[in-house]
């Protein structure tokens, strides 16, 4: 699949998530709006990190040397920022989760499907971070695949969480 298809998918996902988060529900609470904003910023950061997989995939599969060289240079710069981006995104998600738990938990209930998928997304994020720490300490094929698998499951769970109605 050409690299520009991933760019189009990412732009559409960002536009869709922004429109959904800001347009789907209106609350009088500025605290809930702050929680939504934190979630949007975290989505952008995690999208950058998840896209590293697709950049490496294009590097491996591309037959065009210029594309490989350009993406290799970009990936080197991105790898230096991978861990700080993940930690910043995790911090934003922790703030989002705390705000939504205390503000929305009493309104919609702590066992609403939106809340349950949020709990599972946090669990998968923690597992992804753990897998990343293992991989950072000692890289191996299993640890790379484990980190990748947990990251993709986390991405899927948070997309489900994002688009679940309240």
Q: pLDDT per residue over 81-103, tens digit each? A: 999 999 999 999 999 999 999 98
HEC profile of the chain: CCHHHHHHHHHHHHHHHHHHHHHCCCCCCHHHHHHHHHHHHHHHHHHHHHHHHHHHHHHHHCCCHHHHHHHHHHHHHHHHHHHHHHHHHHHHHHHHHHHHHHHHHHHHCCCCHHHHHHHHHHHHHHHHHHHHHHHHHCCCHHHHHHHHHHHHHHHHHHHHHHHCCC
Q: pLDDT per residue over 48-87, tens digit each? A: 888 888 888 888 888 889 988 998 998 888 889 999 999 9
pLDDT tier at 21 (50, 70, 90 boundaries)? low
CA-based nearest residue to 96, from 157, 153, 48, 162: 162
pLDDT at 131 over 80: yes
Q: What is the mean pLDDT of residues 16-27?
A: 64
Q: Is the dihedral of CA 96, 97, 98, 100 positive or negative?
A: positive
Top-confidence range, 12-26, 41-55, 124-138: 124-138
pLDDT tier at 125 (50, 70, 90 boundaries)? very high
Lowest average pLDDT, out of 24-33, 42-51, 61-70, goes to 24-33
């Amino acid at each position: 699949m050409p690299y520009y298809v991933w760019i189009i998918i990412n732009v559409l996902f960002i536009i869709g998530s922004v429109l959904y988060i800001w347009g789907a529900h209106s609350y009088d609470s500025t605290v809930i709006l702050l929680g939504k904003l934190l979630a949007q910023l975290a989505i952008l950061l995690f999208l950058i990190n998840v896209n590293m997989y697709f950049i490496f995939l294009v590097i491996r599969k591309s037959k065009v040397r210029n594309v490989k060289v350009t993406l290799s240079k970009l990936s080197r710069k991105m790898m230096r920022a991978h861990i700080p981006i993940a930690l910043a995104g995790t911090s934003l998600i922790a703030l989002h989760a705390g705000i939504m738990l205390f503000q929305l938990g009493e309104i919609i209930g702590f066992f609403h499907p939106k809340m349950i998928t949020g709990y599972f997304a946090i669990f998968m994020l923690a597992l992804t971070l753990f897998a990343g720490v293992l991989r950072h300490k000692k890289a191996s094929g299993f640890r790379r695949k484990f980190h990748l698998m947990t990251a993709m499951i986390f991405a899927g769970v948070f997309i489900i969480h994002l688009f679940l109605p309240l």
